[in-house]
Structure 1
Amino acid sequence: MLHTVEKIGGTSMSQYQAVRDNIVLYNRKNDNYYQRMLVVSAFGGITDGLLECKRTGAPGVYATFADAEDDHAWEQALDNVSQRMAQINEQMFGVTPERALADAFLRERIAGIRDCLHHLRRVCAFGQFQLAEQLQTIRELLAAMGEAHSAHNMVLYLRQSGVNAILMDLTGWRTDEALPLDEVLNQALARVDLSTQLPVVTGYAHCKEGLMSSFDRGYSEMTFSRLAVLSGAREAIIHKEYHLSSADPRLAGEDQVIPIGRTNYDVTDQLSNLGMEAIHPQAAKGLRQQGIPLRVRNTFEPDHEGTLITTDYRSPAPCVEMVAGRRNLFAVELFDQDMVGRVSHYAEGFTDELDKMHLNLVAKDMNANTLTYYVAGNRKQVRRLVGTLQRRFENAEVTTHKVSLVSAVGSDMSIPGLLARSVGALNRAEVPVRAVHQSLRAVEMQFIVDDEFYERAVVALHDELVQTHAETVALAVA
């Protein structure tokens, strides 16, 4: 096929002029706007208002509805987020016919959600109906509102510029049944002519599998991936506010980091494990199996080709491509003298409890009588885990430490002395290393440090492993 499937994140969507000028219209004539699909996220901050703040956990409509004893609190939260959406309409369209269409769409959807939540409250007043059983459905209903709003607005906005954009609404608004995801997408694709139409697709897709139960707020990546696979796209593209760079530019400096340019799906798996939003491993799986390249581009640098991710890429010479990490982890350490020779028994029990509590295991290490798991979660969950482990292994000593993980990542890091150089760089930066792990596959090297040293560790490793290498290569070329 000739077409691409392109995902646009929430931060980029908030810069809707850049989306239009740098993604849709850039270097294209009227007959060249097509052979592509745009999968859009909600405008920045809107999903936080509908659900809860991803960064701080501050409650949105969903969290307020789930916890409130009366209707006032969640209705106020719904009013607040609908006002913010109406302000976006005003900013995008001013006083135009498109503004009237955008406002009418918003009013209808918000009114429908309000009625649904009121009815659910009344039904759950009867003991036979439990609100807890409906909360996942409510979460999906609210999340879908953000993508429906942004997709509908983008369609209207692009039509103002002469683009034949159409809305591919996958949110299942007022539908009677939930179909399997692939069937939902195939039905939508059958109604589209990519040679003359530009579909703007809601990142949320209502389906039998329930994307949020598996991917929570990463659901748009699954929609994006499956659309690319089912339609046989020649390339899948993610547009972000930054390049996929050698380090976080906010830490290492925008003038110091380097766009990666090329890497492979193995590296993106490591980044996903660190919580970086390159692409969810399950979403990448379909692209990888079908041999569809994934490109990550910077919305605000349309001339730059970005980073191309393929299955078989390996750096021409061994090198570190990126220094990344994850903050606010808990090191949960289980020590028991009786563990010797029975490590697998303890590891199985430890993993069991992690799964029950839905805690994300990021890394682990072990010796003869100690298991240490590095997990992402909140303090309340970790305290529950510690209590459960203590009851399960009565003679064990279970302790926790707040830490961060910093990783050097690359498609081929089989470099003699790399570990020694890394530890030396951290030592010079006065970063105490709590633990270190270097895998045989030479795609990642991990350092556990106290949380307060995270930023210093990222900068020190980036300076030593990425910038020094880049300067050496530049000198050799010169």
Structure 2
Amino acid sequence: MSKHTVEKIGGTSMSRFGEIVDNVILGNRKENEIYNRVFVVSAYGGITNALLEHKKTGEPGVYQYFKDGDQRWEEALDKVTEQMKAVNEEMVAAGLNLEEANSYVDQRVEGIRNCLRDICRICSYGHFHLDEFLMAARELLSSVGEAHSAWNSVNILNNRGINALLIDLTGWKDNEAKPFAEKIESEFAGVDYANNICVATGYTKCKEGLMHTFDRGYSEITFSKIACVTEAREGVIHKEFHLSSGDPNLMGLEKVEIIGRTNFDVADQLADLGMEAIHPKASKEMENLSIPIRVTNAFEPEHPGTLIDTSFRSEFPRVEMVTGRDDILAIEVHDPDMVGESGYDFRIMEVFAKHKVSYTAKNTNANTITHFLPEKDVKEQFMLDLKANFQGAEVSMKEVAIVSAIGSNMNKPGFLSRSAEDLAQNQINILAVNQCMRQVNMQFVVERHDYEKALKSLHKGLVEEEK
């Protein structure tokens, strides 16, 4: 069995890299326990937003300006350069060589600037169109964020007397793009894990094009692929918080419990509600190879965190987590002619597939089919097509929220009725209910304004009082 682990550090944690070194990389480890580890790093917090666009607000970054043909992309690139160098100054206290780090940033950024200028020049001729180069430009811009943080991390570790290797997967100046697994295999070939810490970029340039498929979820895909290709004994995800029974900011830190153990099935349920322990496409290959994933709090190094594997099932029925999302739209198709008609639902799904829309939950009865979708995925043309294809039906849309109780073993009479009673006692009307026969989750659709109250009600009844 392999001795090494593959560990992912997110952007917010990377911005506190001095603490990461002290808590995660060193901690209380003896010298011979420091190595046999691969760290997959994201860009520092805020850098990818500035390079592409703000993930939440949509505020344009370099890429968005470039895509729109707005010459302000160069000004935006200057601002990102300043932002990177400001991060470098903050990392001096952790051990970074500032002069070398700034030189590296200048080298990479100027290379990108020249590439984008060349694209603009080529597109000034009628035979070339900007659209043909946009994905390559997006990948080029995104990759520099991870290259920056990975280079800095290796420099800091080396300056502190730790053997560290930079595994730059960004394909900077590569003449060809290799298949994903082959790229990982070639870059890690011959690595001496026992005597080195490897620091790999979260972005990988490969033939498949990670951003084309996963967009900004690519770092977890890289993490997973490295773990699988190098046959790691365990994958570790370092977050700024523990995987807990509920949101501590909402429930109160003293009321939530750290989950401790769960399985990949529960992780899938969490991902479906936007509460990703890990991207479901990333976890699937690790699950198939029986590589467990541990989710830890990067700033509580003594705590083992939560282990996710293929075999765990709670010895006794319990709810492990109460979560949900309040950005859901209920798309309802009501048609009296639906009764007994074969393939009606299939026709609805054809519209979903055309617009690349997936749903979080679904309800049906004799003449009504309701799908519950994330609001960001419901565009005007999608609704127009749905109404055009079902002109004899009443197609309606309503803003709602979903609250869910999730656990590896919820096979106990009364959980459902208990949950409904908890909600009713708090004057929360249940609009719809979903529970599959496997009994790993229960979903309640409620009015959007009842969302937080519903979460607190379920957590109190199913976690706090059950404890």
TM-score past 0.5 threshold? yes
Look up the match of 1:296. Answer: 295
- Where do 1:43-82 residues align within 5 Å? 43-68=44-69, 70-71=70-71, 73-82=72-81
Distance 2:368 2:140 in 1: 45
Q: Quick check: 1:346 aligned with 2:344?
A: yes
1:270 is displaced (CA, Å) by 0.6
Look up the match of 1:333. Answer: 332
- Where do 1:15-164 residues align within 5 Å? 15-68=16-69, 70-71=70-71, 73-93=72-92, 98-164=97-163
SS at match of 1:325: strand
Summarize the Cα distance change of 1:104–1:273 in structure 2 as closer, same or farther, 3 Å threshold: same
**52-61 vs 177-186, greater mean Cα deviation:** 52-61
**Pairwise CA RMSD of aligned residues?**
1.5
Distance 1:119 1:439 in 2: 55
Question: 2:331, 2:395 within 8 Å by CA — same for their partners in 1?
Answer: yes
Look up the match of 1:473. Answer: none
Question: 2:96, 2:155 within 8 Å by CA — same for their partners in 1?
Answer: no
Query: What per-residue deviation string (whole Å, max 9, x for no partner) do you get for residues 149-199 of structure 1?
Result: 111111111122211111100001111111101000000111421111111
Question: 1:320, 1:465 within 8 Å by CA — same for their partners in 2?
Answer: yes
Look up the match of 2:404. Answer: 407
Question: 2:146, 2:202 within 8 Å by CA — same for their partners in 1?
Answer: yes
1:98 is displaced (CA, Å) by 1.2
1:302 is displaced (CA, Å) by 0.4
Distance 2:34 2:120 in 1: 46
Q: Quick check: 1:387 aligned with 2:384?
A: yes
Query: What per-residue deviation string (whole Å, max 9, x for no partner) do you get for residues 360-412 of structure 1?
Result: 31111111111111112438x43221100111112111111111111100001
1:277 is displaced (CA, Å) by 2.2
Look up the match of 1:363. Answer: 361
Q: Quick check: 1:398 aligned with 2:399?
A: no
SS at match of 1:435: strand
Query: What per-residue deviation string (whole Å, max 9, x for no partner) do you get for residues 42-81 of structure 1?
Result: 111111111111222222111221123x41x212222222
Distance 1:309 1:112 in 2: 41
Distance 1:202 1:96 in 2: 20
Question: 1:386, 1:399 within 8 Å by CA — same for their partners in 2?
Answer: no
Q: What letter matches 1:340 in structure 2?
A: V
Question: 2:95, 2:160 within 8 Å by CA — same for their partners in 1?
Answer: no
**419-428 vs 123-132, greater mean Cα deviation:** 123-132
Distance 2:136 2:326 in 1: 31
Question: 1:320, 1:413 within 8 Å by CA — same for their partners in 2?
Answer: yes
Q: What letter matches 1:59 in structure 2?
A: P
Q: Quick check: 1:189 aligned with 2:188?
A: yes
Size of the alignment, in residue pairs?
Answer: 466
Query: What per-residue deviation string (whole Å, max 9, x for no partner) do you get for residues 269-303 of structure 1?
Result: 11111112211122111111111111000001001
Question: 1:247, 1:324 within 8 Å by CA — same for their partners in 2?
Answer: yes
1:96 is displaced (CA, Å) by 7.9
Query: What per-residue deviation string (whole Å, max 9, x for no partner) do you get for residues 77-116 of structure 1?
Result: 2222221111000111169871111101111111111111
SS at match of 2:268: helix
SS at match of 2:89: helix
Look up the match of 1:469. Answer: 466
Distance 1:96 1:231 in 2: 30
Instruction: List alignment gaps of at least 5 residues for structure 2.
Output: none
1:430 is displaced (CA, Å) by 2.3
Look up the match of 1:256. Answer: 255
Distance 1:189 1:8 in 2: 19
Q: What letter matches 2:321 in structure 1?
A: M
SS at match of 1:65: helix
Q: Quick check: 1:434 aligned with 2:431?
A: yes
Summarize the Cα distance change of 1:6–1:402 in structure 2 as closer, same or farther, 3 Å threshold: same
Query: What per-residue deviation string (whole Å, max 9, x for no partner) do you get for residues 129-154 of structure 1?
Result: 12122212211111111111111111
**429-438 vs 457-466, greater mean Cα deviation:** 429-438
Q: What letter matches 2:28 in structure 1?
A: N
SS at match of 2:6: strand
SS at match of 1:469: coil
1:460 is displaced (CA, Å) by 1.0
Query: What per-residue deviation string (whole Å, max 9, x for no partner) do you get for residues 409-432 of structure 1?
Result: 000111211111111111222222
**453-462 vs 349-358, greater mean Cα deviation:** 349-358
Q: What letter matches 1:378 in structure 2?
A: K
Query: What per-residue deviation string (whole Å, max 9, x for no partner) do you get for residues 213-258 of structure 1?
Result: 2211111111111111111111110000010110111211222111
1:125 is displaced (CA, Å) by 2.0
Look up the match of 1:454. Answer: 451
Distance 1:16 1:153 in 2: 10
Distance 2:164 2:400 in 1: 47
Distance 1:104 1:155 in 2: 15
Question: 1:359, 1:377 within 8 Å by CA — same for their partners in 2?
Answer: no
Look up the match of 1:222. Answer: 221
SS at match of 2:360: strand
Question: 2:262, 2:309 within 8 Å by CA — same for their partners in 1?
Answer: yes
SS at match of 1:360: coil
Distance 1:316 1:199 in 2: 38
Question: 1:320, 1:409 within 8 Å by CA — same for their partners in 2?
Answer: yes
Question: 2:17, 2:94 within 8 Å by CA — same for their partners in 1?
Answer: no
Question: 1:30, 1:163 within 8 Å by CA — same for their partners in 2?
Answer: no
Distance 1:373 1:230 in 2: 38
Distance 2:93 2:103 in 1: 14
